[in-house]
Structure 1
């Protein structure tokens, strides 16, 4: 919703036909920089995948050896692997494209005499663009109207100070990327897209790539080590087979078989898929993630810092009480039409913006319209303005009519206004006592004052006026209905909550008490905080949950102190002043409806409905994604171990059948494993114990030996089962083809049981059967049906060099495969007993 409700200029802006003409002539407001993506990019990535190259090499070797069936089978597998890779890339890319559209900024323009919100990329040259406090200027232009307007151009100049600009001076140009510090301006757009000053350097900015997260680096390092190991083992297997009398193509083929079994190419694919789809799922919940890396850290948040107004409360700010100094009386709403109350309302209204956008100022304008018999607003215009400033803050407006009659009105924090008023110490104490009493009931209290001044030589600081104290206005902003449940959700998840607000301790404490907030007994205000050393502050933030009368520097110090204590910090914000702290937090959270563009730009995610309760869902989703990714990757590692050892040990130990598997066997297992890890586990629901557990340590990784020993343990259990069937077959004089069949069937069935067992690292696989995941029966069903076909259909028996087994042997394979998960199920049982 726009902050301005009427147009302060006569210019009606462009018409729709004029917009089309301008767009054709000058282009739209996008950078037009080349971006990698699309089908050809995905195809190129798929072709350069190590697994793809190994399959091509293996198929060529089959053709060289004259084994046409196997060669054509691998060609089919190549097409299938490439298709799966491109499909996964497309799925991730579509999710990211959807996020990009959600995070694209909106701007306000005047077209056809109406104020219209449009996508920033739709701005054209000669548009009338609105730039308000908190916005980021969306295009280059010249100011044609402004009100107390200042802008920060550090993105272009490197200078951090703000500049006053207006239409009456030569300094009337605005540039894309600048941030509006105060006021409002209307500019006529002179350049868009790559023709803006920022657009000309945008290409170099676009080339700056985001840094990899710790988990991404760990995955890359792990895959790199496995790839190096695969190369070494490939050369070793090739050499041993060659020395044992196999031909060069045959020995190379055996080496490629083991290389395929070692390479865990599913891991980076799973990571990319999980992060992209996780971000997409969050966007469907009203939580827009600007960088997919944020998904990784969501489940680790240990502290959430939230403001009060509009986050904990409804942001309605209804005028509920008035105190008049003339008779020291506190008026209720039904008494606002008395002379004394009307005077306080009138001065408070003049101290507000002429076109209000703040909920309190809207409430004051509405109250003035209701109680006044003569509305003077149309007769007076703004003559001079002192914006909100000071610690605690106040603001002053000077209005003048055609006959040079002036109104000088101020409002602000009680402690900010009173020192500038002509009151005795006893009167000041009485006013403070009344203000504290109202604040203790949960009211937001502002002081109201007026002054007289002749001439135009206004003081530099508003506090220099000699104000006459008029009274107090008190607003009530009730807590949101769901806020108590929201806080309870954070506490259950082991997340500490801290309120950081510009309001005073009494008002904030009263609202916090109504909202079920824990820790209101200890509070710290901005002045006290700034007097503390860094070391003292690090200790205070451990036990203090209520921070009041805060300003940007103080907020930033709180965030940095929490981070120094090892906390993973999430912070909500909506204003310009929240920008530095949002940027510094691990997870900056901006409000989608009332948040400024600066806050949205500084944040890592946006709550489209301004509901803090969404963050409980976001944390749950973050924990679920990380947990499911852990299941997928540990599953990949677990199943790779028996494939590697079953291929390698018979050869290295000189057993009767040294080369039990060929590339076509390994590629079938790869095709089973890919959908399992990326499709089944990504679709798993959240486990019920995740949101009553403490946040995981951000430095923890499931690729450490402590975590991987479970996967190694599972993999070795399956290996023992497969090698048992191998030795059982040899002991009973079975042929090489029948031995291969039994080992392969056991390995595939073990994969099925492993898939079910790894659905939880805490609950039994029987319990997890009640989890709703429609893909489980589909993927497992297809796998089992394919396996039955392979051991029954003559063509497939011949292709895979199998021999049709008797049913009693197949039953033995099922029992051995099921037995392979018993140790892991026992481990989970011990964990549950210990937890109880």
Structure 2
């Protein structure tokens, strides 16, 4: 659209709006600001922690225990529920701040033309039609169509993911150009890296590109994690089963066995409270919290507690390229001269690395031939490097910073060279002519013009003859490797020249080309290999060009034969077609925030558990949508961090692999807690149920059942939360997202262990009665047998995927040993202290009684170890755990 047409369409003029017109438009369009996220009431957030069928059941059990006078157990149940709620409330205490973080990207003031005069205008007061002036260092205040651009470079990495500042001009582009190709537009929240520009505001507030991301963020619903879904599913079914079983058992005891209704009710409630794994939510929360602490030690900070476990189920990691898989630091990669080619070592802006000639060429001769081009890159350059805390940073354009680093690798000292070759004049880079030229006085006094810019621009300026076939072939090779190219030239001028014009930059000597890449992080290559060995797919989603992204994907080893799909191609696909496509594609290029969001949703629709890494504002919606959104801590925007569940402190993709390792360990430990809790509770219940059905004396009283529940819940079950990783944790495929908490293996263990526990307990019960000893001694034997059996069973479940009969397995951990010591001390008090004998109806036992109980516990351990080994040998273990 010509400028006159643009001004007419927006009802403005080159001199800007009048103050009255601006006020009128402000009333129509509203302030140029994004809506703040509506905070949630702390009370509501705290009450939400109780919204679980299992918690409701626990509270009902606590009320029942209170009514029956079992105040200690009621207090324990209440404490567990409160701990669970408090930890969840604290971990999720930060309300969603992503929208507010995005708002902070918009600068407070802008320089606009009002009434024909340059005026400082509050950014909130900008309206469509305002004429805004931009300079280097400015934050773009609104989406603007450019009417003037002079050397204008805009850092749009937060929106597009591109590492290099985008060149801007006032020309026209096709109407459906991707965001990164809209070179005549500047977007709200981006940063002017160099040059000057003037633009007409076309969108403000929620209508800007950053506003669209804000709306996307609002539309994303937070997902329930796999573990929470499993717990809810388990709680609902378990609650229903226990309630029905309790009612039936109560009816049977009263109507068939003739129990008094109050006596039967006491036993049924005690039994139900014993069966309910009331410690499970708290132990799971503590297990997750321990995972948070371990991950923090490995540079991964968890913002939302359930994300720890979700990492263990991750089957796909979608990663942004720039700054996540790559360093986000441009690096000169190779030098191409007419007769030489050199490769450059090192990465980033650190001036470290060798420059080596390719093939049989002599290194010294090739480097000597390249010195004029290296000097050109250093002098026709406005960037500076500085070192801070051991890290090199660039002030200025990233590619110019890479040229300074390259010159230093070749032994040139920037300050000295620039002093020896003072700059007299320059032609700044502009998208219209696509080159920069600078005039220098050489140490010998002659004038030299150095030029750098787009290869095609310098080819047109080069003194003939040049071998275009040779140069174009080199360009095609470099493009295939994802390199960005700059061409360099030089021209000698008479000593008196003081001003540089376009006529002076003609028939230059073409010095050569330099190829740049944003290099992959070496640790990211290793991390991707680990992901693939763990059955986790890695997909790169970037705003960069397809050729560049695909080349980086190959260097990273992201797939055996990576394919690339662009955002434009995604636009033409339905959601169903996209879901079919995402399985086999590992590189998505030229993507917008909507594309990223669609890709994540397509993967989730196929049952994948998706972790999404990123650092830009453009990543925020997909980070929030992902099962585990992972933001970069150093270079990540606040919007990305607040939308994510996890933040990597070192911006290192490898840290997410460490986090997945810890996540799998956490889930293993949760399974161990469950595999220990449910079967042992089932064994305790089966003992009493068999007694009621068979009509013999109850092996445990209601008070003793509650004692077992009290002494074990806060000790042995909790100890499993601290277990270290099992061997081979990262060589297993991810678990299925719909895998139930009660897996076939766990159901089998519930049956087997319940029967074994019931057999042991009833065996010692009838053996003691058969010796003519009283019922109290027999019941004390049963309680001790249950406790000892659960201790030995604990050692069995410490390792679910390998055998437990190892030195490490038998020795235990300090936490396990401390828990056992606490249980033994409590049980000795239960058995031998007179006050405990009075409260619980227990009696002292002999040394022979203790030896018998321990011997049966050892036998239980070996039986279960043989069962574990047999199932693995027959191949049933893998089937039951799927």
| Fold agreement, TM-score > 0.5 | yes
What does residue 274 of structure 1 align with? 287
Residue number in structure 2 paired with 1:734: 773
Within a 5 Å distance, the mapping from 1:311-390 to structure 2 comes to: 311-319=324-332, 321=334, 359-364=398-403
- The corresponding residue for 1:35 is 42
Contact 1:529 1:554 in 2 (8 A): no
Structure 1 residues 237 and 491 mapped into 2: Cα distance closer, same or farther (>3 Å)? closer
Match of 1:76 in 2: 72
1:711 aligned residue: 750
* SS class of match (1:36): helix
Change (3 A) 1:238 1:584: closer
TM-score by length of 1: 0.68
Structure 2-normalised TM-score?
0.65
Of the three residues 239, 242, 256, the one matched with 1:230 is 242
Residues in 1 aligned to 2:684 and 2:630: alpha-carbon distance in whole angstroms: 45
2:314 aligned counterpart, secondary structure: coil
Equivalent residue for 1:630?
671
Instruction: Tell which deviates more after alignment, 737-746 or 341-350.
Output: 341-350
Query: How far apart, CA to CA, are the structure 2 residues paired with 1:602 and 1:105?
Result: 5
Contact 2:225 2:627 in 1 (8 A): no
> For 1:688, what is the secondary structure of its paired residue?
coil
* Structure-1 separation of matches of 2:683 and 2:483: 67
Q: Corresponding residue for 1:786? A: 826
Measure, in 2, the Cα distance between the counterparts of 1:558 and 1:643. Answer: 49
Supply the distance in 1 between the matched residues of 2:800 and 2:201 (Cα, whole angstroms): 64
Matched, 1:776 2:816: yes
Instruction: Give, in whole Å, the separation in 2 of the partners of 1:303 and 1:125.
Output: 34
Does the alignment pair 1:755 with 2:794? yes
Deviates more, 1:293-302 or 1:245-254: 245-254
8 Å contact kept, 1:672–1:783: yes
Provide the C-alpha distance between the structure 1 equivalents of 2:211 and 2:368, rounded to a whole number of angstroms.
39
Structure 1 position 619 matched with structure 2 position 631: no
1:434 equivalent to 2:447? Answer no
CA contact (8 A) 2:107 2:140 kept: no
- Structure 1 distance, partners of 2:303, 2:558, is 31
Q: Against the structure 1 CA distance between its residues 507 and 429, is the aligned structure 2 distance closer, same or farther, given a 3 Å change threshold?
A: farther
How big is the shift at 1:795? 2.1
Whole-angstrom CA distance in 2 between matches of 1:106 and 1:217: 28
Change (3 A) 1:653 1:447: same
> Could you tell me which residue of structure 1 aligns to residue 265 of structure 2?
252
Displacement of 1:265 after TM fit?
2.5
- Is 1:648 the counterpart of 2:660? The answer is no
Seen in structure 2, the aligned counterparts of structure 1 residues 95 and 770 have a Cα distance that, compared at 3 Å, is farther
Matched with 1:606 is: 647
Note if contact 2:452-2:458 (Cα within 8 Å) is conserved in structure 1.
Answer: no
Q: Tell me how far apart the structure 1 counterparts of residues 72 and 743 of structure 2 sit (CA, whole Å).
A: 37
Partner Cα separation in structure 2 for residue 128 and residue 507 of structure 1: 37
Post-superposition Cα deviations, 1:671-709, rounded to whole Å, max 9, x if no partner, equal 233224652111110111212222222222231345421
CA distance in 1, matches of 2:757, 2:569: 59
> Which position in structure 1 is the counterpart of 2:861?
821
The 3 A distance-change label for structure 1 pair 180 and 606 is same
Greater mean deviation of Cα atoms: 239-248 or 289-298: 239-248
Residues 1:628 and 1:583: Cα distance change in structure 2 (over 3 Å): same
The answer on whether the counterparts of 1:140 and 1:175 sit within 8 Å (CA) in structure 2 is: no
Q: Do the aligned residues in 2 keep the contact of 1:591 with 1:608 (CA within 8 Å)?
A: yes
Map residues 118-133 of structure 1 onto 2, 5 A cutoff. Answer: none
Deviations 1:221-259 (A, max 9, x none): 322333333333444444455555655543331221222
For residue 706 of structure 2, the aligned residue among 657, 667, 677 is: 667
Query: SS in structure 1 opposite 2:845?
Result: coil
- Relative to structure 1, the CA distance from residue 366 to residue 780 in structure 2 (aligned partners, 3 Å threshold; closer, same or farther) is closer
Taking only aligned residues, the RMSD between alpha carbons, in angstroms, comes to: 5.7
C-alpha spacing 1:604/1:510, structure 2 compared with 1 (3 Å): closer
Distance 1:411 1:306, change over 3 A: farther
Cα deviation 1:383-412 (Å, max 9, x = unaligned): x879xxxxxxxx9699999xxxxx9x9967
**For residue 219 of structure 1, what is the aligned residue in structure 2?**
231
CA distance change for structure 1 residues 523 and 651 in 2, over 3 Å: closer, same or farther? closer
Q: Against the structure 1 CA distance between its residues 732 and 425, is the aligned structure 2 distance closer, same or farther, given a 3 Å change threshold? A: farther
Closer/same/farther in 2, CA of residues 140 and 628 from structure 1, 3 Å limit: farther
Q: Residues 114-513 of structure 1: matches in 2 within 5 Å?
A: 141=124, 146-147=134-135, 149=140, 151=142, 180=210, 210-243=222-255, 247-306=260-319, 310-319=323-332, 321=334, 359-364=398-403, 429-436=469-476, 444-447=483-486, 472-475=513-516, 480=521, 482-483=523-524, 485-497=526-538, 502=544
Q: Report deviation, 1:747.
A: 0.9
Tell me the CA shift for residue 783 of structure 1: 0.8
**Residues 164 and 518 (structure 1), Cα distance of their counterparts in 2 relative to 1, 3 Å cut:** closer
- Alpha-carbon offset, residue 741 of structure 1: 1.3
Match of 1:765, SS state, is: coil
Query: 1:12-23, aligned counterparts within 5 Å?
Result: none
What SS does the corresponding residue of 1:791 show, helix, strand or coil?
Answer: helix
CA 1:292–1:491: 2 relative to 1, 3 Å: same
Structure 1 residue 506: deviation in Å? 8.6
Cα distance, 1:500 vs. partner? 5.9
Looking at structure 2, the residues matched to 636 and 377 of structure 1 have their Cα atoms a distance apart, in angstroms, of: 81
The residue number in structure 1 matching 2:15 is none
Residue segments in structure 1 that go unaligned for 5+ positions in a row: 1-28, 62-70, 108-118, 131-138, 154-159, 183-197, 387-394, 402-406, 451-466
Distance between the aligned counterparts of 1:557 and 1:58, measured in 2?
Answer: 51
Counterparts of 2:564 and 2:218, CA distance in 1: 41
Counterparts of 1:500 and 1:740, CA distance in 2 = 64
Cα distance in 1, alignment partners of residues 232 and 566 from structure 2: 44
1:776, distance to aligned residue in structure 2 (A): 0.7
Q: Distance in 1 between matches of 2:110 and 2:369?
A: 40
Shift of 1:275: 3.3
Q: Indicate conservation of the 8 Å contact 2:55/2:81, yes or no.
A: no
Q: Does 1:796 align with 2:836?
A: yes
Aligned-pair CA distance for 1:318: 3.6
3-state SS in 2 of match to 1:594: coil
Question: How far is 1:330 from its partner?
Answer: 6.2
Q: CA deviation at 1:625?
A: 0.7
The reply to whether residue 700 of structure 1 matches residue 752 of structure 2 is no
**3-state SS in 1 of match to 2:651:** coil
- Distance in 2 (CA, whole Å) between partners of 1:277 and 1:834 is 35
**Cα displacement (A) at 1:629:** 0.5
Query: CA distance change for structure 1 residues 235 and 562 in 2, over 3 Å: closer, same or farther?
Result: closer
Distance between the aligned counterparts of 2:125 and 2:857, measured in 1?
Answer: 74
Q: Distance in 1 between matches of 2:468 and 2:571?
A: 26
Secondary structure of 2:485's counterpart equals strand
- Is 1:725 the equivalent of 2:764? yes
In the aligned structure 2, how far is the partner of 1:723 from the partner of 1:423?
102
The Cα shift of 1:633 comes to 1.2
633-642 or 52-61, larger mean C-alpha shift: 52-61
Quickly say closer, same or farther: Cα 1:318–1:638, change in 2 above 3 A.
Answer: same
Indicate the residue corresponding to 2:630 in structure 1: 589
Q: Secondary structure of the equivalent of 1:618?
A: helix
Match for 2:722 among 683, 690, 713? Answer: 683
User: What's the CA shift for 1:627?
Assistant: 0.7
Decide whether the 8 Å contact of 1:385 with 1:398 is kept in 2. no
1:669 positional shift: 1.8
In structure 2, C-alpha distance between the alignment counterparts of 1:527 and 1:306, rounded to whole Å: 16
Measured in 2, the distance between the counterparts of 1:601 and 1:470 equals: 48
Partner SS, residue 700 of structure 2: coil
140 and 630 in structure 1: CA distance in 2 versus 1, 3 angstrom threshold: farther
2:848 pairs with 1:808: yes
Residue in 2 that maps onto 1:188:
none
